[in-house]
Structure 1
Amino acid sequence: MTSASPRTHAPRPDRFDRRLLAPMILGSILNPINSSIIAVALVPIAAAFGAPASRTAWLVSALYLATSIGQPLVGRLVDVFGPRRLFLIGASLALIAGIVGTFAPSIGVLIAARVILGFGTCAGYPASMYLIRSEGERTGVQSPAGVLTALSIATQTIAVIGPTLGGVLIGVGGWRATFAVNIPLGIACLVLGYLVLPKHASSGADPSSGLRLDLVGILLFATTLVSLLLFLMNLHASMAWLLGITIVAGAGFALRELRVDDPFIDVRVFAGNVPLLVTYARAVVAAVVSYSFLYGFTQWLEDGRGLSASSAGLVLLPTFAVGIIVATLTGPRPQVRGKLIVGAAAQLVACSLLLFTSADTAVWLLVVVTLAFGVPQGLVNLALQNTVYYQADPARIGASSGLLRTFMYLGAMLASSASGALFGERATTGGMHDLAWFMVVSAGILLVVTVTDRTLKNVTRRE
């Protein structure tokens, strides 16, 4: 009796292999579920370890910092070696992080677990985008709108339902349950990845020839992000030297990548693709708004409004419902520019509503706010994902999609830093209003950048 091997049955040549959907979706949701589920756990963790809000903000930033560094690197490795082995390594790290976080004795160990988790969740999304592109080439269907929509709906569903799930888990098993959930998820990813994902490498590179990692470029890139995050987490004139390190390291990184044969991030390719760079910039400001809402508003619901973790999660549930409906209805439509304009305008309206909240605002009015945020939730992320898919070089779809996540995580780090700076010890109503103004400005920038970007019309034509 012979042992079973992955992908024993050949998929139909004219259809997307739907067996890939399960590992693609499960791998891609590892990051959003851990990004959002922590939102309702920050207050209980702070109470358990006697830590201020500015300290627990590192639980958010640590994951995004690790993922921002790891995403483009893992995306590049996926382009060269194919998705399978990177997917399995990432799933293993997520499993380890779940175990470490579940039994962490201090907030420092929790932060370390979030770093491991950040690197572990790097492979899912670029691996999925790689598989979508390779399946498109195999089947001859170059516009897999249905698959892209399914992937976007899955990730944003988890991102928004995460706080509700987190509230339930905390009610049942305490805040440690929000880390323990990675144990079954990691095991499921390992099993599905081994059984389903194909054992092949990218046609654009020969892994047998070896890949020379640009270690200097990786170090400079990491230095740029770390110093920038440390500056944002400590916005004082005395810390301006960190901003200087960010500028010097960033400039050194750009010069380095222009000179090496196999760069960590091919700056020349992206520098010659201005529409893609604008899309990345758009992803930053869009993420600033969505993650400020996810973390800041959730903390305020518990601290400023006095709701329990489970109740705060339920208040956020309408965002999930509206986002799914909007994404389902608009996903098959190719009008990327229209989605982004409507989404940015909806963000601006929703952020303005936060300015009218107070400690005694009725729950039904809070639900109205979360309903308003559901519209951009269903439009913006899907439109950004589709835009990158068509603007990126097909040979570097893994790295390009990884960079999309990197820029979104940069926005998340900015949001986390703003929440920590504006809230201080507790998430008060005054701090919530200050954060709301920050979100209004960011949403306004997103709207202006989108309305003035005429190249988005070309994306629709290409679809």
Structure 2
Amino acid sequence: MTGAVAVPAGRRRPPADRFDRRLLPSMMLGAILNPINSSIIAVALVPIALAFGAPAAQTAWLVSALYVATAIGQPVVGRLVDRFGPRPVYLVGVSLTGIAGIIGMLAPALWVLVVARVILGFGTCAGYPSAMSLIRRESDRAGIASPAGVLTVLSVSTQTVAVIGPTLGGLLIGLGGWRATFAVNIPLSLACLVLGAVTLPREPRRADAASQRRPFDLLGIALFTATLVTLLFFLMAPAVSTLWLLGVAVAAACLFAWRELRAHEPFIDVRVFAGNVPLIVTFGRAVLAAVVSYAFLYGYTQWLEDDRGLDPTATGLLLLPTFVVGIAVASLTGRRAEVRAKLIVGAAAQLVACGMLLFATSASPLWYLAAIGVIIGIPQGLVNLAVQNALFHQADPVRIGASSGLLRTFMYLGAILAAAASGLFFPVRADDAGLRGLATVMVVAALVLLASAVADRSLGSVDRLARGAA
């Protein structure tokens, strides 16, 4: 798409041959809302449980509620971005985020907090697909085939920044209690609203405006939702007695594929993805990377508090090196075109860190635990950047919003699997034996990710395309 976009009043026309960097603040701030909220809760679960006298099985829904809302909402919001443009979707999304922050800050009961997390999940869905859509449009306008620097900024603003969630949460709890982890969304959403209103371009009136008035594929969305929700319920409590939930999930998935193949304007065009095997593989890598990343963020964090005996502030500070290393690695390597090399090195680093977790105990010295955090920061900076860059080159440009939303859906599927593994190995509390079981799952995921990167020769074409564009 190379057509002009309307410029908000008071905003100068962007340079003709360069990416309009005035978009970056709103893009970055909107993109961090989801990863920050997905990880900040890690250190707040124990204080919330104490405040409401709730068992761990109930507070776990504070994590799962956001996972489900995000997994469902990302592709829905991505389709809205493709149809109506990023600006209106972005502004509505950040408004919902602020409302959820108010509800969570004032919540009188645990179920109200769960509702707030659901609203957060849907509200924070807008940031990433809106940013990817803006990057694609700006790149096409300026004639930039591979905006590596901007993609690096977005990677740092999403998955790398997610690691600072526990650190930020620990500091906020120390200053204002667990309610501060919800209240922080109020100033963040206000800042997004101001920046978005001032900097984001308005959509021109389109010739195919009639397509914008066509109803959404509500049946497709309902079947997609049924698939994810029943799969989540099964994964959160896998047992022979709940196998029927897995059967329902499979049946709903089959009906969803059948429906989308016949819909005039499908919610997710499965034909496009069925004919794009490299993109499907990229989605699979997103699942594997997220299993390791979120098992570390939630399972390891819970173990540090339960078995190692650290308070939330100390736990957050111990995870700070992961954030610092992830930022540094992404910044240093972001302009390099090699996707395959990033995946191989990142997966190898995951394997080393997960192997070290196998030998961690409650008696392990702090330097050993900090070293694990340093090493896990390497793939946090490399793998997420590689997956995002691969998507940028593999996805259909006119469906970049939906494809970006689906990428986040698959990442949250990995997060759901990580949460299920944590629940399986930490049935009562996070102890050393449970940590070894969780680390074993992480090792397997890292091994599969490494093998997929080594064996996938199609990544060479992505590397050549990126290098040629650079």
Q: Look up the match of 2:234.
A: 231
The one-letter code sitting in structure 2 at the alignment partner of 1:93 is: L
Which residue in 2 is equivalent to 1:95? 98
Give the Å deviation of 1:209: 4.8
From 182, 187, 198, give the equivalent of 2:185: 182
- Tell me the TM-score normalised to structure 1 length: 0.97
Corresponding residue of 1:242: 245
**Alignment-derived partner of residue 407 in structure 2:** 404
Q: Distance in 2 between matches of 1:39 and 1:423?
A: 15
- Structure 2 CA distance, aligned partners of 1:5 and 1:372? 44
**Separation of aligned partners in 2, 1:137 and 1:214:** 29
What are the within-5 Å matches in structure 2 for residues 184-263 of structure 1?
184-200=187-203, 206=209, 209-263=212-266
Which of 303, 307, 310 is residue 304 of structure 1 equivalent to? 307
Computed over aligned residues only, the root mean square deviation of the Cα atoms, in angstroms, reads 1.5
Report if the CA contact (8 A) 1:80-1:207 is conserved: no
Q: Please tell me whether residue 453 in structure 1 is matched to residue 453 in structure 2.
A: no
The counterpart of 2:324, out of the listed 310, 318, 321, is 321
Task: Give distance in 1, aligned partners of 2:388 and 2:116.
Answer: 28
Q: Does 1:85 align with 2:118?
A: no
1:42 alignment partner, one of 35, 42, 45: 45
- Give the CA deviation at 1:342: 0.9
Indicate which of 55, 66, 79 corresponds to 2:58. 55
Per-residue CA shift, 1:262-302, capped at 9, x if unaligned? 00001001110000001001110110000000001011111
Moved more, 280-289 or 208-217: 208-217
Q: Which residue of 2 aligns with 1:442?
A: 445
Task: Give the number of aligned pairs.
Answer: 460
1:349 counterpart = 2:352: yes
Conservation of the 8 A alpha-carbon contact between 1:81 and 1:202: no
Shift of 1:59: 1.1
Gaps of 5+ in 1: none
| Superposition map of 1:34-183 within 5 A | 34-183=37-186
Give the whole-Å Cα distance in 2 for the aligned partners of 1:265 and 1:204. 23
Q: Is the 8 A contact 2:160 2:380 kept in 1?
A: no
Q: Matches of 1:189 and 1:417 in 2, distance apart?
A: 33
- Measure the CA separation in 1 of the matches of 2:17 and 2:113: 47
Indicate conservation of the 8 Å contact 2:11/2:198, yes or no: no
Are the structure 2 counterparts of residues 209 and 239 from structure 1 closer, same or farther at C-alpha, using a change threshold of 3 Å? Answer: closer
- Cα deviation, residue 71, structure 1: 0.6
Q: Paired residue for 2:3? A: none
Is the CA contact 2:8–2:200 (under 8 Å) kept in the aligned structure 1? no
Answer with 176-185 or 447-456: which moved more. 447-456
How far apart, CA to CA, are the structure 1 residues paired with 2:47 and 2:210?
47
> Per-residue displacement from partner, 1:214-264 (whole Å, max 9, x unpaired)?
000000000000000000011111111100100100000000000011000
Residue 288 of structure 1: which of 281, 288, 291 is its match?
291
* Structure 2 residue 351 is matched with structure 1 residue 376: no
Percent identical residues: 64
Unaligned runs of 5+ in 2: 1-6
Is 1:12 paired with 2:15?
A: yes
The correspondence for 2:334, drawn from 314, 331, 335, is 331
Answer with 53-62 or 280-289: which moved more.
53-62
